[in-house]
A and B are shown apart, each in its own frame.
Chain A
Amino acid sequence: MNSKSVMDSKAIDRALARIAHEIIERNKGTENLVLLGIPTRGSHLAKRLQAKIDMIEGVSLPTGAVDATLYRDDLGMKETQSLKEMEIPISIEGRVVILVDDVLYTGRTIRAAMNALMDFGRPLSIQLAVLVDRGHRELPIKADYVGKNIPTAPDEDVKLHLEEVDDANEVVIQITKEGLCEKESK
């Protein structure tokens, strides 16, 4: 398997810093915001964003995780997936939810995560922050905040490594044989 690094630790950090600024700017501050990451790496990114926003604004946003597994549309097509953390730290009713994920690809995970969110209440709005947008959308979903656009081929796989789980901070592109089948395999 071939792999090449496309973002190093510094690049990731810079991208997150920029996204933090953009979130604050677009929402005119931090009031009413909740950061919810999609496990596993999305929720770590959410925590990093929380820290960045805290550094800039001095506000620690409620931050949690939303597991989309039970809402996925591909459950019957692969082996049973392990359930991940689901932590909604505060009522999302009437709040702006910043959904955070590592790699935006087909958009199906985001669709599932939004459905999951709706079962917890009616947010004022949902915005999407991703570290990497690799294209190939299958649903009409668009990210509000993008760390880096990385055009890829379908037989490539984009992986984020975070030191919280992987002992490294980088984004790599891997060439997989069964590219299509491996799509969305979180």
Chain B
Amino acid sequence: MPDTFNRKDLLGIEDLSVEEIVKILGSAASFREVAERDIKKVPTLRGKTIINLFYEPSTRTRTSFEIAAKRMSADAINIAVASSSIKKGETLKDTALNLEAMSPDCIVVRHGSSGTPQMLARYLKCSVINAGDGLHEHPSQALLDMLTVSNRLGGIEKLDGLRILIVGDVAHSRVARSNILGFSKMGAHVTVCGPPTMIPVGIEHLGCDVNHDMTAAVKDADVVMMLRLQLERQAAGLFPSPREYAKLYGLDSLKLKRAKKDVIILHPGPINRGLEISPEVADGPWSLILEQVANGLAVRMALFYLLLGGVKDGISNANKSLNPDGVRLLNLR
């Protein structure tokens, strides 16, 4: 395993190598330990500034990034941008350069438009972490899902050959895309399941199979990941009614009976009880939904550490003007 993580940004699982994923998950496992201490804070990123730039309302992801930053001793600033106030003659580039002028070390961005973190990363010298962009990717979610499964099974190598079933509105899910890419990179076999209206063309090119019959698909699965159903999709004709959706694609105890005994159930949250997942399943022993939340924190601490805790391409994050020979002397003064 390379001992370095020479990456400025974390924009998507698509860009990551298997080695990098292993590195992130390994570091995250270390950060789980920090969360179990009485003093849940390490001084590692003292003096670093992290901006959480959220163009979409989000409580759990934003809170998770914020706590992660604070536990690393970084200063976290939350900027919530109401989508209504974006269009004031300011381009995304203007926004980026304005933020850059405040010399942050990292910007965590969530945006309703796919590709926005990629665009910001092009404009910005600081690190950019994608906290969810449109329908594209949500890499930290996929990493925490992989961490949750590998913790339960006793090692990252256990992901190899695993059968993952992702059920729901794959077309409108960045979580699904990142997980398809992530799990398949780690050697798992991913199947997506949902009504054909919710399975986008060419999804198999991301590295998965398609099955529209959940009852059949659930049988072989080691992990079942349920996606949140957005009720407004009904109006767009993606499904006829919540009732029929729940019947065909909701995970209830009836469908669960057909699954393996030790099946793992994941949900990115927040859950729609009684819709995509029945209450008895959500609360059952198979469910690792709360474990996912704890791992989310660890993954985000790991990302901050790996992106901000070292030199990138020979440029020190601590003091960009230091020359190599002067490093220690200057640091002493």
Highest count of chain A CB atoms <10 Å: which of B4, B31, B42, B328: B328
A80 x B306 contact (CB < 8 A): yes
Measured in the bound complex, the distance between the Cα atoms of B105 and A75 in whole Å is: 14
B44 x A70 contact (CB < 8 A): yes
Provide the A38-49 mask, 1 if CB < 8 A to any CB of B, else 0.
Answer: 000000000000
Residues of the A chain whose Cβ atoms lie less than 8 Å from the Cβ of B31: 83
User: Chain A: interface secondary structure?
Assistant: loop
- Does A137 touch B at the CB level, under 8 Å? no
- Does A2 touch B at the CB level, under 8 Å? no
- Does A25 touch B at the CB level, under 8 Å? no
Measured in the bound complex, the distance between the Cα atoms of B327 and A78 in whole Å is: 10
Q: How far is the CB of B208 from chain A (nearest CB, A)?
A: 31
A180 x B30 contact (CB < 8 A): no
Q: Which residues of B (27-70) have their CB < 8 Å from a CB of A?
A: 27, 30-31, 33-34, 37-39, 41-44
Q: Which residues of A (76-100) have their CB < 8 Å from a CB of B?
A: 76-83, 86
Q: How large is the interface on B (under 10, 10 to 19, 20 to 34, 35 or more residues)?
A: 35 or more
A77 x B3 contact (CB < 8 A): no
Q: How far is the CB of A17 from chain B (nearest CB, A)?
A: 33
B310 x A80 contact (CB < 8 A): yes
Measured in the bound complex, the distance between the Cα atoms of B327 and A87 in whole Å is: 32
A78 x B37 contact (CB < 8 A): no
Residues of the A chain whose Cβ atoms lie less than 8 Å from the Cβ of B4: 79-80
Interface size (A, Cβ < 8 Å)?
A: 24
A180 x B328 contact (CB < 8 A): yes
User: Chain B: interface secondary structure?
Assistant: loop
Residues of the B chain whose Cβ atoms lie less than 8 Å from the Cβ of A119: 37, 39, 41-42
A71 x B6 contact (CB < 8 A): no
Q: How far is the CB of A106 from chain B (nearest CB, A)?
A: 9
Q: Which residue of A lies closest to B39 (CB)?
A: A119
Residues of the A chain whose Cβ atoms lie less than 8 Å from the Cβ of B1: 82
Q: How far is the CB of B3 from chain A (nearest CB, A)?
A: 5
A-binding segment of B75-83, B199-207, B218-226, B313-321: B313-321
A75 x B328 contact (CB < 8 A): no
B332 x A83 contact (CB < 8 A): no
- Does B134 touch A at the CB level, under 8 Å? no
- Does B322 touch A at the CB level, under 8 Å? yes
Q: Which residue of A lies closest to B23 (CB)?
A: A82
Residues of the A chain whose Cβ atoms lie less than 8 Å from the Cβ of B316: 76-77
Q: How far is the CB of A40 from chain B (nearest CB, A)?
A: 12
Measured in the bound complex, the distance between the Cα atoms of B37 and A83 in whole Å is: 17
Residues of the A chain whose Cβ atoms lie less than 8 Å from the Cβ of B23: 82
Provide the B5-26 mask, 1 if CB < 8 A to any CB of A, else 0.
Answer: 1100000000000000001001
B3 x A71 contact (CB < 8 A): no
- Does A183 touch B at the CB level, under 8 Å? yes
- Does B309 touch A at the CB level, under 8 Å? yes
Q: How far is the CB of A118 from chain B (nearest CB, A)?
A: 8
- Does A3 touch B at the CB level, under 8 Å? no
Measured in the bound complex, the distance between the Cα atoms of B4 and A82 in whole Å is: 8
- Does B311 touch A at the CB level, under 8 Å? yes
Measured in the bound complex, the distance between the Cα atoms of B3 and A81 in whole Å is: 7
- Does A167 touch B at the CB level, under 8 Å? no
- Does B249 touch A at the CB level, under 8 Å? no
- Does A55 touch B at the CB level, under 8 Å? no
Measured in the bound complex, the distance between the Cα atoms of B290 and A88 in whole Å is: 26
Q: How far is the CB of A107 from chain B (nearest CB, A)?
A: 13
Q: Which residue of B lies closest to A183 (CB)?
A: B328
- Does A153 touch B at the CB level, under 8 Å? no
- Does A181 touch B at the CB level, under 8 Å? yes
B319 is contacted by which of A76, A79, A115 (Cβ under 8 Å)?
Answer: A76
Question: When A and B form their complex, which 9 residue pairs have the shortest distance between CB atoms, in order from nearest?
Answer: A76-B318, A80-B310, A83-B30, A70-B42, A79-B4, A70-B44, A119-B39, A76-B317, A79-B310
- Interface residues of chain B, those whose CB is within 8 Å of chain A, are 1, 3-6, 23, 26-27, 30-31, 33-34, 37-39, 41-44, 305-306, 309-311, 316-319, 322, 324-325, 327-328, 331-332
* Contact sample, A vs B, 21 pairs, CB 8 Å cutoff: A70-B43, A70-B305, A71-B44, A74-B327, A75-B44, A76-B319, A77-B311, A77-B316, A77-B318, A77-B327, A79-B4, A79-B5, A80-B4, A82-B26, A82-B27, A83-B305, A86-B30, A115-B43, A119-B37, A119-B42, A183-B328
